[in-house]
Structure 1
Amino acid sequence: MKKKIIVITGSPRRNGNSFAMTDAFIKAAEEKGHTVTRFDAGLSKVGGCIACDKCYSKEGKACVFDDDFNKIAPLIEDADGVIFTAPLYWYTFPGQIKNFIDKMYSFMIGEKNIAGKECGLIVCCEEQDASAMEGIRFSYERSTSLIKWKSLGEVLVPGVLHPGDVKNTDGLQKAAALADSF
């Protein structure tokens, strides 16, 4: 079955390792016939949530602040799956994608039913020890559990710092293989 998948990236570096893994996932998903929409949160203007609880109350927009989150929110509502990709920053998500994740609160307060979607996580980090990614995994797992999404897998690649380092790992292959889960 062909699915609509949204890929949310968190890196501000287009030539970084997480972008390379994102590209590998997207290519594999499209080859399987899925429709993939990419949203580069790390290169977009998405401000932080201020917990005003006015989500979806102004002109039907997800957030009262008119930033790039309002462009992707309707696509998330319509999607079958969501993939989060990011480099590890200080043991969690980079701020750029964290703002996006925080604004997903709007789906709950705005009474939008987005439960039942499939999701996945693709992350890389400089440290050699994969346990360095436990913080980002915990945040992903708790957030997706709260909104009742089903995780199809996590690709966690340690030991990549410089652009292109991921090519010396199995990260690109694992990211592409995650597309098989959809």
Structure 2
Amino acid sequence: MKIITILGSPRKKGNTAAILKAFEEVVMAQHEVERINIADISIQGCLGCDACQRTLDEPGCVQRDDFNEVMAKIRLADLVVYASPVYVWDFPAQMKALMDRHYCLVKWADPAHMCCLLEGKHVMLLATCGGSAEENGDLIQEVFRREMEYLHCRILGKYIAPFCTTPSEIGDQARQIAQQMAADMLKL
């Protein structure tokens, strides 16, 4: 299975990276894993121009940044893991730009017929937050759920790691979440 992981944190060695690395290590013996670090690429925000709707079989975004390359990898993957810290109850700006650009993956041939270039794609959300999941990580899960349902993706799981302070203090929580994510992959 081909797995794309997207580290949506501006900190390449932060809490989210530590847990994502634990997951990657659990699954890489049996699966092909490629990580995309949002901090290493350039993705601008959606322009809202709808130029992407002129083509039905590809994203069709007119912007010339790293989005099309990232999207090509996502489209070829069997599973995409969106990993992100929670910033003000949502994705950080760098990851939010990527998420907003997913708009070009839903095509409206006419008002009654739509298709999605990620139809049936298996996805997971891994989010880390400094506080509790209930009052901190709840909204990012809802944003993710709504976007993935709009894209007609199949959510295999949403994992929130609460009370993350530093990567060195995450400890056993990283291993437990990684193992749960790997177990939930069996749903494929």
| 1:91 alignment partner, SS class | coil
- How far, CA to CA, are the matches of 2:70 and 2:36 in structure 1? 7
- 1:65 maps to 63
- How far, CA to CA, are the matches of 2:170 and 2:60 in structure 1? 36
Report if the CA contact (8 A) 1:122-1:175 is conserved: no
| 2:146 alignment partner, SS class | helix
- 1:94 maps to 92
Higher strand share: 2
Q: Which of these residues, 129, 137, 144, is aligned with residue 141 of structure 2?
A: 137
Question: RMSD across aligned C-alpha pairs, in angstroms?
Answer: 1.9
Give the length in aligned residue pairs: 176
Specify every segment of 5 or more residues in structure 2 that has no aligned partner in the other structure, as ranges: 109-114
- 1:174 maps to 177
- How far, CA to CA, are the matches of 1:61 and 1:78 in structure 2? 14
CA deviation profile, 1:68-118 (whole Å, cap 9, x unmatched): 111111111111111110111011111111100111111113855311111
- 1:47 maps to 44
1:148 has 2:152 as partner: yes
Q: Which of these residues, 106, 113, 117, is aligned with residue 117 of structure 2?
A: 113
- How far, CA to CA, are the matches of 2:15 and 2:22 in structure 1? 11
Quick one: structure 1 residues 170 and 47, their matched pair in 2 at CA, closer, same or farther if it must change by over 3 Å? Answer: same
Which amino acid letter does the alignment assign opposite residue 68 of structure 1? Answer: D
Report if the CA contact (8 A) 2:128-2:164 is conserved: yes
- How far, CA to CA, are the matches of 2:60 and 2:20 in structure 1? 26
CA deviation profile, 1:117-143 (whole Å, cap 9, x unmatched): 11111111111x211101100011111
Quick one: structure 1 residues 82 and 44, their matched pair in 2 at CA, closer, same or farther if it must change by over 3 Å? Answer: same
- How far, CA to CA, are the matches of 1:56 and 1:45 in structure 2? 22
Offset, 1:172: 3.1
Offset, 1:155: 1.5
Tell me the TM-score normalized by structure 1.
Answer: 0.88
Offset, 1:173: 2.3
Q: Between the two proteins, what is the percent identity of the paired residues? A: 30
Q: Which of these residues, 123, 126, 130, is aligned with residue 127 of structure 2?
A: 123
Tell me the TM-score normalized by structure 2.
Answer: 0.85
Once the two structures are overlaid, the 10-residue window that deviates more, 41-50 or 93-102, is 41-50
- How far, CA to CA, are the matches of 2:51 and 2:98 in structure 1? 16
Q: Which of these residues, 21, 24, 27, is aligned with residue 25 of structure 2?
A: 27
Quick one: structure 1 residues 146 and 71, their matched pair in 2 at CA, closer, same or farther if it must change by over 3 Å? Answer: same
Which amino acid letter does the alignment assign opposite residue 20 of structure 2? Answer: T
| 2:95 alignment partner, SS class | helix
